[in-house]
Amino acid sequence: MRIKDYAIRVLPVTCEDLRSIAVSNDGLTMKHQAAITELLGRVTPLADDLGRVFASAGHELALVGGPVRDVLLGRSVSDLDFTTDARPERILEIVDGWADAVWTIGIEFGTVGLRKGDHQIEITTYRSESYDTKSRKPEVSYGTSLEDDLARRDFAVNAMAARLPGHEFVDPYGGLDDLRAKLIRTPGRPEDSFGDDPLRMLRAARFSSQLGFTVAPEVVTAMTEMAGRLEIVSAERIRDEISKLLMGARPRDGLALLVDTGLAAQVLPELPKLRLEIDEHHRHKDVYDHSLIVLEQAIAQEKDGPDLVLRLAALLHDIGKPKTRSFVEGGRVTFHHHEVVGASMSKARLVALRYPKDVVADVSRLVELHLRFHGYGKGEWTDSAVRRYVRDAGHLLPRLHKLTRADCTTRNKRKAAALARTYDDLELRIARLEQEEELAKLRPELDGHEIQQVLGLQPGPEVGKAYKFLLDLRLDQGPVGKEAASTALREWWQDQS
């Protein structure tokens, strides 16, 4: 059975039929067939069991949305999403005794969460959502039909389902065709979909990044015309979509879509502002394009999976340039102290998006430090300066290494190679000092108690000042020993007195 035979979009299709589609369709290969077989072998017994529980209670149940899409794409599936005609209170009654654990955080929106063995499961009542023009909270109304429930889904590739326990494949809006075409398209009019939930506009960009799919032209047009609707969506929901976009395989595609449609001006206005006008008299890099290249080059250095802090820092490292741009003689443009301004701006933006405090602190610190290496010149830094570089970077040093290397986007191969060699030299010096002095544990050679004994002090702010003096001594001179440190401390204290 080939996909072109799907003249009617809702057909009873068994698991074997799905495998046939995977084999015969040019876009869904044997790789996808293997993924379907593996998933069904691992999930179907549980899903079928749950389907039988609901059927015996007189209710429908279907596996829906992302899990169906991902199994057809050969992607791994961890969480399972189901939909049903049962109301939330009835769902709780049906799964009582079947689920190992149940939670009701989303029950007001029709969703019940539960755990069965190693599987996280969400069951949502057939529903539709819509926003009032001024409301940040959706109004939820329940439905009675699976096909109608699929109509309210964000995109056709997420509007496929498999009824349980019989595996009837339901695809009323051509999601399977869109998977083959690698296309993001809404089940109905995009204007209606985005009117119901404006956050779906950000999801389109997110799926562009995650799946590498193209967004349909009519969807792009609607995103552009309705960008202002995002103002009613909470900062937390916007933050989550931006993070998922950045953590995708192709974040540049998603970010470019946000900028081109005007959505970025609503959620991350610093990004489109990087498109500085360049005239024939003043020369500088395209800061917007440079930032996206830096992001890609930072991603290329990731070894342990996507790093949100690194990716945010790479994207935002130059956002201080528009505010600090000035023109000088000879057609040059300067951006003095843009790293300091950018650190403040990145902190403000991430706070507004409700990012966790540690993410805000780490990203803004990386933005502040990203130019520090350029003072290294051709290796003129003293060991003291290298120690301070390590001390100031702290736990962010590995990320700072990646960001600094990614920030080299020159097309001049000789210049790029020279910068790489210079940074190689700095890393070798850091490694040598680390081995000799344990830089990661850089502390004064006297602790607070010893400082009090040497100076005859009680606990208080003077001890903190003395500690800072000894830390600076350690950074400047390296290990000097407790006796020399005590002598220097007494001399310093005498001067202070």
pLDDT digits (tens, 9 = 90+) for 24-79: 444 444 554 454 445 545 566 788 899 999 999 999 999 998 888 887 887 777 77
What confidence score (pLDDT) does residue 456 get?
83
What confidence score (pLDDT) does residue 405 get?
94
Reported as a pLDDT band with limits 50, 70 and 90, residue 96 is very high
Task: Please give the C-alpha separations between residue 437 and each of 110, 250, 432, 473, in angstroms, as whole numbers.
Answer: 59, 41, 8, 14
What confidence score (pLDDT) does residue 8 get?
29
What confidence score (pLDDT) does residue 38 get?
53
Reported as a pLDDT band with limits 50, 70 and 90, residue 180 is confident
Query: HSE of 78 in the Cβ direction (CA atoms, 13 Å)?
Result: 0
Asked if 155 and 210 touch (Cβ cutoff 8 Å), the reply is no
What confidence score (pLDDT) does residue 42 get?
56
Say which residue, 434 or 16, is predicted with more confidence. Answer: 434
What confidence score (pLDDT) does residue 118 get?
83
Six-digit token string for 427:
């890393």
Task: Please give the C-alpha separations between residue 371 and each of 276, 293, 302, 325, 327, in angstroms, as whole numbers.
Answer: 20, 17, 20, 16, 20
What confidence score (pLDDT) does residue 23 get?
37
What confidence score (pLDDT) does residue 85 get?
94
Reported as a pLDDT band with limits 50, 70 and 90, residue 19 is very low
User: What is the rounded CA–CA span in Å between residue 354 and residue 469?
Assistant: 37
Say which residue, 166 or 149, is predicted with more confidence. Answer: 149
Neighbour tally for 48: CB within 10 Å: 17
For 248, left (φ over 0), alpha (ψ -120 to 50), or beta? beta
Q: Is 481 exposed, middle or buried (0-12, 13-18, 19+ CB in 10 A)?
A: exposed
What confidence score (pLDDT) does residue 14 get?
44
Residues facing residue 183 across a β-bridge: 214
pLDDT tens digits, one per residue of 251-265: 999 999 999 999 999
What confidence score (pLDDT) does residue 13 get?
40
Task: Give SS3 for 84.
Answer: strand
| Ordered DSSP codes for 138-191 | -EEEE-S-HHHHHHTSSSGGG--EEEETTTEEE-TT-HHHHHHHTEE--SS-HH
201 has a pLDDT exceeding 80:
yes
Domains and CATH numbers, the chain: 1-181 (3.30.460.10), 183-268 (1.10.110.30), 286-441 (1.10.3210), 448-496 (no CATH)
Mean pLDDT within 177-186? 92
Reported as a pLDDT band with limits 50, 70 and 90, residue 448 is confident
What confidence score (pLDDT) does residue 178 get?
92
**Can you state the angle between helices 448-455 and 482-496, rounded to 10 degrees?**
60
User: What is the rounded CA–CA span in Å between residue 203 and residue 243?
Assistant: 11
Asked if 442 and 478 touch (Cβ cutoff 8 Å), the reply is no
Mean pLDDT within 134-142? 70
Share of the chain above pLDDT 70, in %: 85
Mean pLDDT of the chain: 84
What confidence score (pLDDT) does residue 459 get?
85
What confidence score (pLDDT) does residue 137 get?
66
What confidence score (pLDDT) does residue 135 get?
64
345 has a pLDDT exceeding 60:
yes
Query: HSE of 56 in the Cβ direction (CA atoms, 13 Å)?
Result: 9
What confidence score (pLDDT) does residue 375 get?
82
Reported as a pLDDT band with limits 50, 70 and 90, residue 289 is very high
pLDDT tens digits, one per residue of 387-422: 889 888 989 999 999 999 999 888 888 888 888 898
- Residue 260's closest CA among 246, 248, 272? 272
What confidence score (pLDDT) does residue 35 get?
47
Reported as a pLDDT band with limits 50, 70 and 90, residue 336 is confident
Q: How far is CA 181 from the centre of its chain?
A: 26
2 has a pLDDT exceeding 50:
no
pLDDT tens digits, one per residue of 349-392: 999 999 999 999 999 999 999 999 988 877 788 888 888 898 88
Identify the top-confidence range among 120-134, 144-158, 235-249, 385-399.
Answer: 235-249
335 has a pLDDT exceeding 70:
yes
Task: Give SS3 for 79.
Answer: strand
User: What is the rounded CA–CA span in Å between residue 440 and residue 186?
Assistant: 52
Mean pLDDT within 283-308? 89
Say which residue, 312 or 431, is predicted with more confidence. Answer: 312
Task: Give SS3 for 497.
Answer: coil
In the numeric block, the tokens 């956050």 are attached to 199
What confidence score (pLDDT) does residue 203 get?
97
What confidence score (pLDDT) does residue 61 get?
95
Neighbour tally for 386: CB within 10 Å: 19
